[in-house]
Homo-oligomer: A and B are copies of this chain.
Amino acid sequence: MKHFADQLVGAVRRCRTPVLVGLDPRWESLPAVLRGHRDGRDLAAVAEQYLAFCRGVIDVVAPLVPAVKPQAAFFEQLGPPGMAALAQVIAAARDRGLLVILDGKRNDIGSTASAYAEAYLGPSPPSAWGADALTVSPYLGADSLEPFVELAVQRQAGIFVLVKTSNPGGGMFQDLVGCDGRPLYQRVADVVQQLAARTRGTHGYGAVGAVVGATYPEQLASLRAAMPATWFLVPGYGAQGAGAGDVRDAFAQDGLGALVNNSRGIIFAYARPEYRSRTADGDWQQAVESATRAMIEQLRAETPAGKL
C-alpha cells in the first residue's frame, strides 16, 4: 500500500492517461441487451443489471485508464439492492487494478463525518465499501473535512473536495465575492491546498484533491496555480459540453495533477451517432472501448497529458 496521491501518479503514468471513467448507470440509457424485457420497476432486477453493466465497462476500461468513479446516487436510487450492487462494483473495479473514486458528495459535522469516512475510505475491511477516495462537500467548513483527512491518511486513501462544480448554477454561491475581492470557491481552494500540503506523498501531491469543473476553463488556470499540491478531479467533459481545450489548464506542466472525468460519453457511447453504426450488433462494449481510446487520444494531443 502506498499514499493515495502516489498511487494516482503511478496509475496515471502507467496508463499514460488521466481519463477517469464515470460509472453512472441509468436504466433508460442501458443497452437494450441488458434491459431485456424488464420495465425497471423491480429494483433488485435493475440492480443486477447495473452490476452487469458496470462489470462490462470495467472489463473494457481496466487496461486503459487509471481509475473509475461510480456515482452513488444511481445505486442509492435502487434502495438496499442498489447499495449491494455498488459494493460489488467497487470490489470488481479494485480487483481489476483500478483506483475507485466514489462520487457521493458526502459530509456532516465532526463525529458524523467520521462515520462517512469510516464507511467509504480505504480497503474493505476495515471500511465497509472499500473505495480509494470519496468526493466531499465543503459547506460545513474545514472542521467537517478534518475527519476525512485524518482517516484518508491512515488508510492510504483520498478525498476530493467540491471547489467549483460544473453545473450552470454552480456559481450562485461558489462565486460569492467577499470584501477582499475573493470568491468563496477560492477560499475553499485555500483550505483544500492547505490540507493537501499537509498530507503530501512522495510526488508532492496530497491526499486531499479538488473537484473543479471543466465548464469554467478560465478558473481552472487560477485554481491550478492556487492549489499546486492538489490532484484535480475535473467533471464536465463530454456530455456536459467541455472539450480537451477546456481542461488543458487543469494539468501541471508534466501532465500530472488532473483526472478528467467522462461518464455518459463513454459508458453510453453505443448510443452516440458516431458509434451507433459500428455497434449495430449490440456490442456496446466495443463503443465503450472506442470512446475511451478517442478521449485518451484527444487529451494526449491537446493537453499536457501528452507528456505522460
Using a CB–CB cutoff of 8 Å, the interface residues on chain A facing chain B are 24, 26, 41, 43, 71, 73-74, 76-80, 82-84, 87, 103, 105-110, 112-113, 115-116, 118-120, 124-125, 128-129, 137-144, 162, 165-174, 176-179, 184, 187-188, 191
Contacts and interface: CB of A to CB of B under 8 A. Distances in A.
A105 B259 CA distance: 26
Contact of A167 (B43, B119, B140, B168): B140
A77 B77 CA distance: 18
Nearest to A129: B79
Contacts of A125: 41
A23 to B, nearest CB: 12
Given A141-B167, A141-B171, 19 more contacts: A41-B125, A73-B112, A73-B115, A73-B119, A74-B115, A76-B116, A76-B119, A77-B115, A79-B87, A83-B83, A103-B108, A109-B166, A139-B162, A140-B165, A140-B167, A144-B167, A173-B184, A176-B184, A184-B184
What are the 8 closest A-B residue pairs judged by CB atoms, nearest first? Answer: A79-B128, A143-B169, A141-B172, A141-B169, A109-B167, A73-B115, A83-B83, A77-B119
Copies in the complex: 2
Contacts of A107: 105, 137
Nearest to A146: B169
13 contacts: A41-B125, A71-B108, A77-B118, A80-B84, A83-B83, A109-B165, A110-B167, A139-B173, A142-B169, A142-B172, A144-B165, A176-B178, A178-B179
Most buried by B among A24, A137, A171: A137
B179 A177 contact: yes
Contacts of A171: 141
Contacts of A191: 172
A105 B142 contact: no
Contacts of A178: 176-179
A295 to B, nearest CB: 20
A167 B43 CA distance: 37
A84 B120 CA distance: 17
Contacts of A79: 83, 87, 119, 124, 128-129
Contacts of A137: 105, 107, 137, 139
A288 to B, nearest CB: 20
Nearest to A140: B165
A139 B140 CA distance: 10
A43 B128 contact: yes
Nearest to A116: B73
A113 to B, nearest CB: 8
